[in-house]
Structure 1
Amino acid sequence: MTSIMSDVIAGRIELLDPLARGASGSLWRAIDRRYDAVCAAKVMRQRDGAEVLRFVREQTVGSAQGLGRHPHLLPPYTWVAEDDTIVLVMPLVHGGTVAGAVAEHGALSPSLVAQLLRQLLDALAAMHDAHWVHRDVKPANLLLEPTTDGVPHLLLADFGIALHEMDVRLTETGFAHGTPGFMAPEVLEGSGTSAAQDVWAAAACALEALAPSRPREHLAPAELPGRVHSALTGSMDPAARPLGELLQQMLEADPLSRPAAAEARDRIPRPAAPASAWARTATGAPFTVRDRIGDFPELSASGAHTEVPLDGPESLVGVAPGLHERLTALSRSATSPPSAAGAPAGSAQPAPAQPAPAQPAARGSAPPASPAGAPPAGGATGSAPDPDEDTTDRFIHAPTRQSPVAPSGPSVLSGSSVQSGPSSPSSPPRRRGGPLRTGLMLLGVSAISFAGAAALLWSALG
């Protein structure tokens, strides 16, 4: 590792330098020591239950149906915790946000906005197909990967208030989730959550890129369609008219009248010309996405660290396998079929009635050999487990095997049930009169009790 003086969280995430600070926490450049790779670490600011839930929800999106591998989604790929500090870990994006790009370049051309909107709608379509609603789509959550003068690459981030359709809904009076200016009208009215609110917010983001609002200016939802008309009227850009029509439908007050994210995405054609022809600002200047973070001096000097790819650390797993990979390898070595090679014939000994459970083999060591003739562990049928099958059944010991030699006792244990074994000459004969005597004794006790009760009743009446 490096000699940089820094904090290490949970022995894995090494914080290097702070990059940004937001309402829910601070963003740091960090090193994931498991992969020896540079990443981004989001450190929680407030340590109450609501913030813990926010961070856990954000991590959940990353593991939901492969969303972490979508080219336009950037959920965390893991999280760590130590004491009262929780850290979300994700790939580091160097190009800043759409909000920062608009602040630097001003209004963007309709053709460029249309392509950025297409990428955003593609990300939302994947989330909606997985039954997730983002609920906080805004320019500050739209990251850009540095492409200089190439095709801009957008990534949707910050899933802290995302909601799955199967999540428990808690009644909250007078409280709406989202950011002012990018909240659909039904959200402000408290009508509930749906994928349509993300579509409305995506249109609001596109409008913000076409006609940036003044600082602290938040238009009412009913004002946005008129803003779209005024922003695109008179534009000579070939994408202006179809983009305006699409935005008007996405900003419909009725959620049922808006197109779905996938439908809206498919209405925006892919560009046929190179990026230099359409990736421009409203004034015609080239639009470039430069590296806004830069390199860390100590890391640049050592040159020993790569960065976690945008699609997650899966390509780095070969360098340092994760916990799941290590447990899988350990379980496979512990339950591999025993080898009978080298065992002398006829040297098998009778198996005891209750053998001790097999201990897992040490990582990297050969599995212990079983006596010849004994059925292999892995099931009551004696069939060997499939070494390529990932299942927790590998950790369950096989039922106790019955000895091939019958014991001398009256019964033998097999699994969890008791079975009668064959009797031997030395076994004492069973006594068949026991149940009859017990019944007669109970009948006598009952008769005596009845007589005593009758005597007590007679004396009481007399």
Structure 2
Amino acid sequence: MGEVFAGRYELVDPIGGGGAGAVWRAWDRRRGRYVAAKVLRQSDAHSLLRFVREQALRIDHPHVLAPASWAADDDKVLFTMDLVRGGSLSHLIGDYGPLPPRYVCALLDQLLSGLAAVHVEGVVHRDIKPANILLEATGAGQPHLRLSDFGIAMRKGEPRLTDANYIVGTPGYFAPEQMLGAEPDFPADLYAAGLVGLYLLSGKKPDAEAIYKQYSFGTPRAPLGVPEPLWQVIGALLQPDPEARFRTATGARKALAAAVELLPEPGSADDEPVEVFDQIGPLPEGFGPTGPAAAGPEPTVEGTVGFHLAPPAPRSPLSEPPAQPLEQPLAQPLPEPLPLPEQPTAPPSPATRPQTAPVAVRRPGPPARVVIPVLIAAALCFAVGIWALAAA
């Protein structure tokens, strides 16, 4: 039997970790299911404030992996999420290398769908990268993506927890305006999504500095093997000037839907199929239950096998922000875009496997330490008060 946290969550085995905490597979005694539990590794005031912000996010969307509940036990705090078993995009590229364009379109569409839901809540993610984008274990079927790790996310207008001169995020996925000290904003997330799309097509981390230099001579040509219609969308996401990018993730999705209609048909049947395997593995000896009841229901995925984007079903007006036109037209005009499919009505299984922690480019001063465990609860209340005042 593992450690029982707050009388409810039985920690089973570690499945990942990051700079702020370790992620465990845990048995939720109240709900009778396995979840992912992120246990805060540090107990200083700065970490607690970030924890309060992250656990307060409640975004119910099939392509977002947000906290579901939290608990405190003595000097420890944790929050739980769905347990997602298929690893991250980094695992997928490690297994297969460059992915077929239509498969990339399916993944990029789902990422933009999740970002649209995050942005409509006024939240800037600030750490879009392959390791923070998880996959359900769907085998050879349609992939199902979940955007995770909101550890450094913030709502627009909230006070920043770092000095304005510090750049928070992951090197290599910064938007150019972030390097110039601009306030966190949605276009920076869209730029990072473009870099993720390029990573999926090339099988290697993009050279952001080289891309920036290429754009000084205008929009570069499509890389070898990238279809021109798809490159028009990714190229617009990678515009160095945020005013020249898409205004919203929904606008980018519409352009992507039009681009998919212009892609050549998939290659021969001899092409290696892409499969998303279970990366977590079986439960340790002595733990149960096992089988479908433990894993939860099979996730519902959008689209059809073959990675075509299907027509949409009616959706809630609050699910995504209204589509906006591009600030600047694409290099070649796309046909009138078709709306994309309805998202699944129920979120799939759950978890997170962050691999690398975001860093600050400059080293901030050390945060104040909380020397008595009991002060953690006080810090949480104080942080919630600050957050409420800032949001007012």
TM-score in terms of structure 2 length: 0.68
Q: Is the 8 A contact 2:14 2:22 kept in 1?
A: yes
- 1:270 deviates by 8.4
In structure 2, distance between residues paired with 1:250 and 1:272: 16
In structure 1, distance between residues paired with 2:161 and 2:16: 31
Q: 2:275 aligns with which of 275, 282, 288?
A: 288
Question: 5+ residue gaps in structure 2?
Answer: 300-345, 349-392
SS of residue matched to 1:115: helix
Partner of 2:86: 95
SS of residue matched to 2:174: coil
Partner of 1:428: none
Partner of 1:15: 11
Q: Structure 1 residues 170, 146: closer, same or farther in 2, change over 3 A?
A: closer
Partner of 1:155: 146
Q: Structure 1 residues 304, 203: closer, same or farther in 2, change over 3 A?
A: closer
- 1:213 deviates by 3.0
Partner of 1:30: 26
Task: Give me the identity figure in percent.
Answer: 39
Partner of 1:262: 250
- 1:116 deviates by 0.6
SS of residue matched to 1:15: strand
In structure 1, distance between residues paired with 2:194 and 2:256: 13
Q: Is the 8 A contact 2:98 2:200 kept in 1?
A: yes
Partner of 2:74: 83
- 1:295 deviates by 2.5
- 1:298 deviates by 3.3
Q: Describe how 1:54-453 pairs up with structure 2 within 5 A.
A: 54-62=50-58, 67-68=59-60, 70-169=61-160, 172-213=163-204, 219=209, 222-223=212-213, 232-233=223-224, 235=225, 240-259=227-246, 260-269=248-257, 284-296=271-283, 297-300=285-288, 306-307=294-295
User: Is the radius of gyration larger for structure 1 or structure 2?
Assistant: 1
In structure 2, distance between residues paired with 1:31 and 1:157: 20
- 1:50 deviates by 1.8
Q: Structure 1 residues 79, 249: closer, same or farther in 2, change over 3 A?
A: same
Name the structure, 1 or 2, with higher relative contact order (CA <8 Å, separation 6+). Answer: 2
1:26 aligned partner, one-letter code: A
Alignment size in residue pairs? 295
Question: CA offsets, 1:290-347, max 9 Å, x none?
Answer: 111122143456669634667569xxxxxxxxxxxxxxxxxxxxxxxxxxxxxxxxxx
Q: Is the 8 A contact 2:35 2:81 kept in 1?
A: yes
- 1:135 deviates by 0.7
Q: Is the 8 A contact 1:90 1:312 kept in 2?
A: no
Partner of 1:369: none
- 1:169 deviates by 3.6
In structure 1, distance between residues paired with 2:133 and 2:27: 23
In structure 1, distance between residues paired with 2:292 and 2:242: 51
- 1:253 deviates by 1.1
In structure 1, distance between residues paired with 2:47 and 2:267: 38
Partner of 2:368: none
Q: Structure 1 residues 270, 18: closer, same or farther in 2, change over 3 A?
A: farther
Question: 5+ residue gaps in structure 1?
Answer: 314-462
In structure 2, distance between residues paired with 1:264 and 1:47: 40
Partner of 2:378: none
In structure 1, distance between residues paired with 2:101 and 2:292: 42
Q: Structure 1 residues 174, 24: closer, same or farther in 2, change over 3 A?
A: same
In structure 2, distance between residues paired with 1:56 and 1:244: 39
- Aligned CA RMSD, in angstroms, stands at 3.1
SS of residue matched to 1:73: coil
In structure 2, distance between residues paired with 1:143 and 1:189: 30
Compare the two structures and name the one with the higher helix fraction. Answer: 1
1:56 aligned partner, one-letter code: V
2:22 aligned partner, one-letter code: S
In structure 1, distance between residues paired with 2:81 and 2:123: 19
Q: Is the 8 A contact 1:210 1:231 kept in 2?
A: no
2:203 aligned partner, one-letter code: P
- 1:111 deviates by 1.5
In structure 1, distance between residues paired with 2:68 and 2:268: 33
